[in-house]
Chain A
Amino acid sequence: MDSFVAIVQVLDSTIRLSVPLLLACLAGLYSERAGIFDIGLEGKMLVGAFAGAAAASVFHSAFIGLGMAILISVAFAMVHGFASITHRGNQIVSGVAINFVAAGSTIILGQAWFQQGGRTPALQPGERFEAIVWPGADAVRGVPILGPIYSELISGHSILVYFAFAMVPFTWWVLFRTRFGLRMRAVGENPAAVDTAGISVAWLRYRALICTGVLTGVAGAYLSMVQNGGFVKDMTAGKGYIALAALIFAKWKPVNAMFACLLFGFLDALSIRLQGTPLPIVGKVPVQFMQALPYVLTVILLAGFIGKAIPPRAGGVPYVKER
Chain B
Amino acid sequence: MAQAAIELIGINKSFGAVRANRDINLEVARGTIHGIVGENGAGKSTLMSILYGFYQADSGEIHVGGKPVSINTSNDAIALGIGMVHQHFMLVDNFTVLENVILGAENDALLKSSIAKARSELERLEREYGLEVDPDAIIEELPVGLQQRVEILKALYRGAEILILDEPTGVLTPAEADHLFRILKQLKEQGKTVVLITHKLREIMAITDTVSVMRQGTMVATRATKETTVGELAELMVGRRVLLRVEKGQSEAGAIKLSVKNLTVKDSRGVTMVDDVSFDVRGGEIVGIAGVAGNGQSELLEAISGIRHAVSGEVMLEGRPVDLTGKADPGELRDRGLAHVPEDRHHVGLVLAFEENENSILGYHDDERYLKGPFLNVDAIMADAKDKIEKYDIRPGNPRLRTANFSGGNQQKIVLAREMEQDPGVLIVGQPTRGVDVGAIEFIHKRLIAMRDQGKAVLVVSVELDEIRSLSDRILVMFAGRIVGEHGPEATEGELGLLMAGVEHQEAAE
Chain A interface (Cβ < 8 Å from any Cβ of B): 176-183, 185-186, 189-190, 192-199, 313, 321-323
A-B CB contact pairs (8 Å), 19 listed:
A176-B111, A179-B108, A180-B109, A182-B99, A182-B102, A182-B103, A183-B103, A185-B95, A186-B95, A186-B103, A189-B93, A193-B103, A195-B74, A197-B103, A197-B104, A197-B154, A198-B104, A322-B88, A323-B15
Q: Is the beta-carbon distance between B110 and A182 smaller than 8 angstroms?
A: no
Contact B73 A198 (CB under 8 A): yes
The residues of B that contact A178 with a CB separation of less than 8 Å are 109-111
* B110-A189 in contact (CB<8A): no
Contact between A183 and B104, CB atoms less than 8 A apart = yes
A198 x B84 contact (CB < 8 A): no
In contact, A189 and B95 (Cβ under 8 angstroms): yes
User: Are the CB atoms of A199 and B110 closer together than 8 Å?
Assistant: no
Task: Closest A residue to B53 by CB, please name it.
Answer: A198
Residue of B nearest to A179 (CB): B106
- CA–CA, A198 and B106, complex, Å: 12
CB distance from A321 to the nearest CB of B (A): 7
Beyond A196-B52, A198-B53, 8 extra complex contacts between A and B, CB < 8 Å: A179-B108, A189-B92, A193-B91, A193-B100, A195-B74, A198-B74, A198-B104, A199-B104
Chain B interfacial positions (CB closer than 8 Å to A): 15, 52-54, 73-78, 84, 86, 88, 90-95, 99-100, 102-106, 108-112, 114, 154
- CB-nearest residue of chain B relative to A193? B90
Give which listed residue, A179, A197, A198, contacts B114 with CB less than 8 A.
A179
Are B78 and A179 touching (Cβ within 8 A)?
Answer: no
A192 touches B74 (CB 8 A): no
Contacts A179-B106, A179-B108, A182-B102: A198 and B92 contacting too (C-beta < 8 A)?
no
Residue of B nearest to A310 (CB): B94
Judging by beta carbons under 8 Å apart, are A179 and B109 in contact? yes
Q: Which of these, A181, A189, A323, contacts B94 with CB under 8 Å?
A: A189
- In the assembled complex, the Cα of A313 lies from the Cα of B139 at a distance in Å of 15
Q: Are A190 and B90 in contact (CB under 8 A)?
A: yes
Question: Residue of A at shortest CB range from B114?
Answer: A179
Q: Which B-chain residue is minimally distant from A197 (CB atoms)?
A: B104
- Closest residue of chain B to A323 (Cβ to Cβ) is B15
Query: Beyond A177-B111, A178-B109, A179-B108, is A196–B86 a contact (Cβ under 8 Å)?
Result: yes
| Distance to closest chain B CB from A11 (angstroms) | 36
A177, B103: Cβ atoms closer than 8 Å: no
Give the complex CA separation of A187 and B509 in angstroms: 49
Contact A196 B84 (CB under 8 A): yes
Q: Which of B78, B86, B105, B112 meets A177, CB within 8 Å?
A: B112
A181 to B114, CA, bound (A): 14
Chain A contacts for B74, CB-based, 8 A: 195-198
Q: Which residues of A contact B106 (CB under 8 A)?
A: 179, 182
**Given A186-B95, A189-B92: A194 in contact with B104 (beta carbons within 8 A):** yes
CA distance A242 to B202 in the complex (A): 59
Smallest distance from the beta carbon of B135 to chain A beta carbons, Å? 15
Contact A198 B95 (CB under 8 A): no
Neighbour of B78 across the interface among A185, A192, A194, A198, CB < 8 A? A198
When distances are taken between beta carbons in the complex, the residues of chain A under 8 Å from B54 are 195-196, 321
User: Of A176, A180, A197, A321, which is within 8 A of B90 by CB?
Assistant: A197
Most buried by B among A193, A195, A196: A196
Structural contact, B75 and A179, CB atoms closer than 8 A: no
Top-5 shortest CB links A-B: A197-B104, A198-B75, A198-B74, A193-B90, A179-B106
Tell me which of A177, A182, A190, A194 contacts B93 (CB under 8 A).
A190
Q: How far is the CB of A35 from chain B (nearest CB, A)?
A: 12
Nearest-neighbour CB distance to chain A for B399, whole angstroms, equals 29
B209 to chain A, nearest CB (A): 27
B92 contact from A190, A199, A322, Cβ within 8 A:
A190
Q: How many whole Å from A132's CB to the nearest CB in chain B?
A: 31
- Measured CB to CB, the nearest residue on chain B to A199 is B104
> A194 touching B103 by the CB < 8 A rule?
yes
CB distance from A194 to the nearest CB of B (A): 7
- B95 & A179 in contact (Cβ 8 Å cutoff): no
B52 to chain A, nearest CB (A): 8
Q: How far is the CA of A222 from the CA of B277 in the complex (A)?
A: 65
Instruction: Report Cα–Cα, A194/B104, bound state, in Å.
Output: 7
Q: How far is the CA of A323 from the CA of B50 in the complex (A)?
A: 12
Chain A residues contacting B91 (CB-CB under 8 Å) are 190, 193
CA distance A321 to B56 in the complex (A): 13
Cβ of A207 to closest chain B Cβ, rounded Å: 13
**Which chain B residues border A192 with CB–CB below 8 Å?**
88, 90
A196 and B109 in contact, given A183-B103, A189-B95 (Cβ under 8 angstroms): no
Q: Which residue of A lies closest to B74 (CB)?
A: A198
Residues on the B chain within 8 Å of A322, using CB: 88
- Residues from chain B with a CB closer than 8 A to the CB of A189 are 92-95
- With a 10 A CB-CB cut-off, give which of B52, B54, B154 has the most chain A CB atoms: B54
| Nearest CB of A to B500, in Å | 27
